């Protein structure tokens, strides 16, 4: 069987490596920290950073295919790996999702609806963007944002200067605030031969900018759930994608608005571990290894709850729900320590 290389050793990498092990496949993990969650359950390659090209080449030499658990991998690192082994999902998916401006431009080019947006590179650009987009709106750094970090809300146009100051000069994008009814996401998968399978859309609730719960089924009409799945399929095909993708959507009275895409397994897909025979991690491993996709149909209703910081301690004794812990030593505030999948028979 193929040996899979995973760039990044966090909880997503860990759960990918565990799924691969169950299929008899080996994983190598590339992370600076030998104690990282994924490095605890796979062969670990430590390095001095993503500009450590010797370490990258050694990692690539040990694997048959490379994948990743986060999207902010520098181009030079990707080039070094791709000189030796294929990277799945491919480079276009990374380019599009690394940069919110590129992402929104590409998604609208595909005919999908995104929030109104404008690039902001300096104070003058901020003024022009606010004149066009107005308020309420959200200023976000183009790169490196996650869990709501690198964002500032504008309640009124007056907030523009303070919001721009909060970006510390980073190239940004101003987005119109979408007055959504709810947030859903589709976890989709595409195999090397183009086969597509999507999990049921989940409904997401955030707390302090961090995903709090995902509930399946999402409370949306069947037709809208189908639209969401078809939309994810269009994105997968347009990117000639191989692997699992997360597509975050806003449900509005005038239809679905794409918030962002993540070219990897996704926190809002963790419910699949206890709600489906084959979960998002196995689906990703199957796709990346060149196998056919599995049956991801949902057998249960699920509420997935993230355990953030010291919330995890109160849940250690839970025995009537699927408990997934990431092996992180310190329960720092805001840190994802694990999650809980509470299931019920499908209604």
**Which window, 24-32, 73-81, 176-184, 222-230, contacts ligand ATP (CB under 6 A)?**
176-184
Strand order of the β-sheet with 3-7 is: 43-45, 26-30, 3-7, 65-68
291 binds, among ligand ATP, Mg ion, none (CB under 5 to 8 A by kind): none
Pairing of strands 43-45, 210-216: unpaired
Question: Which of 269, 246, 267, 243 shows the shortest CA–CA distance to 258?
Answer: 246
* Tokens linked to 47: 């390095």
52 vs 214, which CB is nearer to ligand ATP?
A: 214
259 counts as binding ligand ATP under rule CB under 6 A:
yes
Pairing of strands 43-45, 26-30: parallel
Q: Which residues contact 45 (CB under 8 A, 6 or more apart)?
A: 28, 29, 30, 31, 55, 58, 59, 62
52 vs 248, which CB is nearer to Mg ion?
A: 248
200 vs 248, which CB is nearer to Mg ion?
A: 248
Residues 214-273 that bind Mg ion (CB under 5 A): 248, 260
Which residues sit in the known binding site for ATP?
100, 140, 145-151, 175-178, 183, 206, 259-260
State the nearest-atom distance from the C-beta of 62 to ligand ATP, in Å: 30
Question: Which of 18, 21, 31, 27 shows the shortest CA–CA distance to 62?
Answer: 27
Which position among 22, 91, 155, 206 is part of the footprint of ligand ATP (CB under 6 A)? 206
99 binds, among Mg ion, ligand ATP, none (CB under 5 to 8 A by kind): none
278 counts as binding ligand ATP under rule CB under 6 A:
no
**Which window, 5-13, 125-133, 175-183, 188-196, contacts ligand ATP (CB under 6 A)?**
175-183
Query: What CA–CA distance (Å, rounded) separates 178 from 136?
Result: 9
Query: What CA–CA distance (Å, rounded) separates 198 from 149?
Result: 28
- DSSP for 172-209, written as a single string: EEEEEPP--SEEEEEEEEE-TTS-EEEPPPEEEEEETT
Which position among 115, 186, 229, 289 is part of the footprint of ligand ATP (CB under 6 A)? 115
Return residues touching ligand ATP (CB under 6 A). Answer: 115, 138, 140, 145-149, 175, 177-178, 183, 206, 209, 248, 259-260
Return residues touching Mg ion (CB under 5 A). Answer: 248, 260
């Amino acid at each position: 069987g193929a040996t899979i290389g995973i760039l990044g050793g966090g909880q997503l990498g860990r759960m990918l490596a565990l799924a691969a092990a169950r299929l008899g496949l080996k994983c190598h993990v590339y992370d600076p920290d030998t104690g990282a969650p994924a490095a605890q359950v796979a062969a670990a390659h430590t390095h001095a950073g993503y500009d450590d090209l010797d370490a990258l080449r050694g990692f690539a030499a040990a694997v048959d295919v490379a994948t990743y658990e986060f999207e902010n991998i520098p181009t030079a690192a990707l080039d070094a790996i791709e000189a030796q082994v294929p990277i799945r999902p491919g480079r276009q998916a990374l380019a599009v999702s690394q940069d919110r401006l590129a992402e929104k431009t590409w998604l609208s080019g595909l005919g999908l609806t995104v929030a109104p947006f404008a690039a902001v590179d300096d104070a003058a650009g901020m003024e022009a963007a606010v004149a066009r987009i107005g308020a309420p709106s959200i200023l976000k750094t183009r790169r490196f944002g996650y869990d709501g970090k690198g964002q500032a809300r504008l309640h009124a146009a007056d907030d523009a200067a303070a919001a721009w100051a909060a970006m510390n000069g980073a190239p940004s994008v101003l987005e119109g605030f979408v007055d959504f009814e709810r947030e859903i996401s589709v976890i989709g998968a595409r195999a090397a031969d183009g086969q597509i399978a999507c999990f049921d859309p989940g409904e997401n609730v955030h707390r302090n900018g961090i995903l709090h719960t995902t509930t399946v089924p999402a409370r949306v009409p069947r037709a809208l759930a189908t639209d969401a799945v078809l939309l994810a399929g269009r994105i997968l095909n347009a990117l000639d994608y191989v692997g699992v993708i997360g597509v975050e959507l806003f449900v509005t009275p005038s239809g679905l608005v794409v918030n962002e895409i993540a070219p990897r397994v996704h926190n809002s897909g963790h419910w699949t571990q206890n709600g489906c025979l084959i979960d998002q991690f196995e689906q990703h491993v199957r796709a990346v290894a060149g196998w056919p996709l599995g049956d991801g149909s949902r057998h249960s209703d699920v509420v997935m709850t993230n355990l953030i910081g010291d919330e995890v301690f109160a849940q250690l004794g839970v025995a009537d729900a699927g408990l997934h812990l990431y092996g992180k030593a310190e329960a720092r505030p805001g840190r994802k320590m694990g999650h809980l999948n509470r299931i019920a028979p499908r209604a």
